[in-house]
Chains A and B, each alone.
Chain A
Amino acid sequence: MEGWDPNTKSTLTHIPLLTTKAGPRDGAAWTLRLKEEYKALIAYTQMNKSNDNDWFRISAANPEGTRWTGKCWYVHNLLKYEFDLQFDIPVTYPSTAPELELPQLDGKTQKMYRGGKICLTVHFKPLWAKNRFIYIFNLSSGEELSQNKAHFGLCLFHGNVSEKISKLLFSSPRFGIAHALCLGLAPWLAAEVPVLVDSGMIKHKDDATSSSTET
């Protein structure tokens, strides 16, 4: 996290970390994860509001919580620029981060993949990689690492994950959707919106309507 400004750092420490490693195909574990995602998003939204720094709305677009839609906005030169925000939870989540999309900006900036997926590669993906789940096997000093591994693997294979193992699975707190918005989308908007405005690629909605009524 070197090089990040103190504001973002302090915000980040106040977003609850997530403890369940589960993706959309993991059934009941995904429901657990989804609850944690909500808690983190609620805490982050509340924090933004109390700091007068509200900048997004996001909610699940389907009951499974695999598709999310909403809005995000950015204030530049005292004008508010608002964009649709959407993303899918990838099947490999949380090993891979969600690919955040701003479809209205598709084709307007280089820092974007097709379909309006914003570029997270440089500033966010390494952080996500550092903060994904890993399993720790060397529980007690007496046990051999390989034995633990074999035991763990067999438990997975036979579907009887023991209590000891399940504690391991859910022991390391990590990033979720709220963190992706805070560390992925927020800096992207801060870097891109001023450029898009100054280069005339996007217009404020008042300007856009006034110019269209004139013509």
Chain B
Amino acid sequence: MEAELKELLHDIEALDQSLTDSSHRASIDKLRSHVERLTSLGKSGPIRRLKVQDMSAEVVDSNPYSRLMALQRMGIVKNYEKIREFSVAIVGVGGVGSVAAEMLTRCGIGRLLLYDYDKVELANMNRLFFRPEQAGMTKTDAAVQTLSDINPDVFLESYTLNITTVQGFETFVSSLKNKSFCPSKEGSGVDLVLSCVDNYEARMAVNQACNELNQTWMESGVSEDAVSGHIQLLIPGESACFACAPPLFIILFSISVLFFLSLNIKYVYHKWRCDTYLSPLPPFGLGCGIGVDERTLKREGVCAASLPTTMGVVAGLLVQNTLKFLLNFGNVSPYLGYNSLKDYFPTMQMKPNPQCSNVACLKRQVITLTACGNDKFYLQKEYILAMPARDAALRAKMEAEDLPATEGPLHADNEWNISVLGDNELDSIDAASSDVLPEGLVRELPSADEPQKLPTLEAPLTYIDDLEDLRRQLDALNSN
């Protein structure tokens, strides 16, 4: 391009000299300066901003943090610059995770750890963040490319692995434990883990790692019909872990019309990962060679829908909760649902299940119980301790701003069954069993059956208890 511009300039010079009529001189000069400007533009290339040593509150166009530091002046955040000390791990760099990563990068987070095993596809382009020219790259590489351009101050670590495999999980856990970024901090090497994955297995793996490391984390999800989502804060031992209760469904209902709208707002592990298929399916075939009755088979379309809007909203809710948690302002939501069809935002709190199937969760529960009589544990739990005081201050502020209460019902109809509860009433709800769910929420998976006295059919006649023998026996069966 540079050579062509040079040639163009040469032609203009030649034209200028050959022309005798001076009336065209002005327009030729204009043309020349235009080409010169283009040449200089082509030489400069894309501008990469330099690293910034300290976050400054100075209001100048060139300061990337001026609008963020203004949060201090507005009295929202006490010490915004503290954000540079925080490490956040994002598991799953898809529709929610990538946007959350960009938001945290733009906020100037200290360090981001990104985990994903997938590649960017054109089918992902209905969501935010990734660009078509990144198709084929691993999501982690593509994310690092974009994020390091946006804000070179952030330390980025990327891990292309599947955390549900034994090996991937080990790498995942050891990367969370690496404390080299901020060695003086208590706990693991990260301040928060954000789960932005699209399946149940991966959520359970994050849950396992966080329970073992006593790592606070946030879960997020978008339903496969793309119209609802949720975020949830999980503190091992203090709130329900992901294995404490079967996943939840949200049911919206109105009293006037018996209209049940079943929306999967939570734990959408079913989310389909093959976005490339859109055609309706042919009816399922008949005939069974392996003794299965075709009537028991189901075959429906399972390709998940997705919208950049819902994904963006959920990522926004997730990162907002993250900022409140890290920078210690506002109320951190323990659970926040989002139903876009009705703009319904349910919140709730879940206590840990004392019969949780996750051993690491039970350990954390016992430590929390023990900590009730032990100040040492409480001192480490700065955030939890500070929470009631923060809440009280916020309530007082809100009450002071509120209009005086009016007598009688404010609204004649109450479509969503919304009621205002006093603090004491709230406590009594919290104290209730974690089996009791707020209205509109139901379990998505069945609870584990009580163990029945099923006959275990281990034939005692052929009782072998050597692993090698068993392996050989199976191999023998396999070989004929």
Q: A121-B270, A135-B357 are in contact. Are A111 and B302 (CB under 8 A)?
A: yes
Considering the complex, give the chain A residue whose CB is closest to the CB of B445: A129
Bitwise, A6-32 to B at CB < 8 A (1) or not (0) is 111001001111010100110000010
* The one of B296, B459, B474 that contacts A41, using a Cβ cutoff of 8 Å: B474
Judge whether A90 and B164 touch: CB under 8 Å.
Answer: yes
| Residue B350 interfacial (CB < 8 Å) | no
Task: Note all chain B residues with C-beta closer than 8 A to A172.
Answer: 451
Q: Considering the chains assembled together, what is the distance between the CA atoms of A173 and B453 in angstroms?
A: 8
Chain A contact residues: helix, strand, loop or mixed = mixed
| Residue B295 interfacial (CB < 8 Å) | yes
Chain B: minimal CB distance from A184 (Å): 11
Q: Considering the chains assembled together, what is the distance between the CA atoms of A194 and B285 in angstroms?
A: 5
Judge whether A154 and B290 touch: CB under 8 Å.
Answer: no
Judge whether B292 and A187 touch: CB under 8 Å.
Answer: yes
| Residue B477 interfacial (CB < 8 Å) | yes
Judge whether A110 and B302 touch: CB under 8 Å.
Answer: yes
Give chain B interface residues in 444-466, CB to chain A under 8 Å.
445-451, 454, 456-459, 464-465
Q: A17-B454, A59-B475, A66-B166 are in contact. Are A5 and B292 (CB under 8 A)?
A: yes
Q: Considering the chains assembled together, what is the distance between the CA atoms of A31 and B467 in angstroms?
A: 8
Task: Note all chain A residues with C-beta closer than 8 A to B272.
Answer: 113, 119
Task: Note all chain A residues with C-beta closer than 8 A to B37.
Answer: none
Q: Considering the chains assembled together, what is the distance between the CA atoms of A34 and B468 in angstroms?
A: 11
Considering the complex, give the chain A residue whose CB is closest to the CB of B356: A135
The interface size bin for chain B is: 35 or more
Judge whether B299 and A129 touch: CB under 8 Å.
Answer: no
Chain A: minimal CB distance from B31 (Å): 54
Task: Note all chain A residues with C-beta closer than 8 A to B456.
Answer: 16-17, 19, 173
Task: Note all chain B residues with C-beta closer than 8 A to A173.
Answer: 451, 454, 456
Bitwise, B258-301 to A at CB < 8 A (1) or not (0) is 00000000000110111001000110111111111111111111
The interface size bin for chain A is: 35 or more
Task: Note all chain B residues with C-beta closer than 8 A to A88.
Answer: 164-166
Q: A110-B301, A129-B448 are in contact. Are A16 and B289 (CB under 8 A)?
A: no
Judge whether B357 and A134 touch: CB under 8 Å.
Answer: yes
Judge whether B470 and A95 touch: CB under 8 Å.
Answer: no
| Of B52-60, B358-366, B384-392, the one touching chain A | B358-366
Judge whether A187 and B297 touch: CB under 8 Å.
Answer: yes
Judge whether B273 and A113 touch: CB under 8 Å.
Answer: yes
Task: Note all chain A residues with C-beta closer than 8 A to B35.
Answer: none
Chain B: minimal CB distance from A88 (Å): 5
Task: Note all chain B residues with C-beta closer than 8 A to A197.
Answer: 285
Judge whether B289 and A190 touch: CB under 8 Å.
Answer: yes
Q: Considering the chains assembled together, what is the distance between the CA atoms of A125 and B199 in angstroms?
A: 12
Q: A5-B292, A46-B477, A59-B471 are in contact. Are A92 and B286 (CB under 8 A)?
A: no
Give chain A interface residues in 82-97, CB to chain B under 8 Å.
88-92, 95-96
| Residue B367 interfacial (CB < 8 Å) | yes
Q: Considering the chains assembled together, what is the distance between the CA atoms of A114 and B202 in angstroms?
A: 14
| Residue A141 interfacial (CB < 8 Å) | no
Q: Considering the chains assembled together, what is the distance between the CA atoms of A91 and B286 in angstroms?
A: 36
Q: Considering the chains assembled together, what is the distance between the CA atoms of A129 and B465 in angstroms?
A: 28
Bitwise, A162-200 to B at CB < 8 A (1) or not (0) is 000000000111000000000000110111111101110
* The one of A51, A76, A114, A186 that contacts B292, using a Cβ cutoff of 8 Å: A186
Give 23 CB contacts A-B under 8 Å.
A5-B291, A6-B293, A16-B456, A43-B457, A51-B291, A55-B289, A90-B165, A96-B201, A110-B274, A110-B277, A113-B272, A114-B273, A122-B298, A130-B449, A134-B355, A134-B450, A135-B355, A136-B355, A136-B450, A152-B362, A153-B366, A173-B454, A195-B284
User: Can you list the 10 inter-chain pairs with the closest CB atoms, starting with the nearest?
Assistant: A194-B285, A5-B293, A172-B451, A153-B366, A75-B289, A38-B470, A7-B291, A92-B204, A191-B297, A91-B169
Beyond known contacts A8-B291, A38-B471, A112-B274: 4 more, CB 8 A cutoff: A91-B166, A111-B299, A130-B447, A149-B354
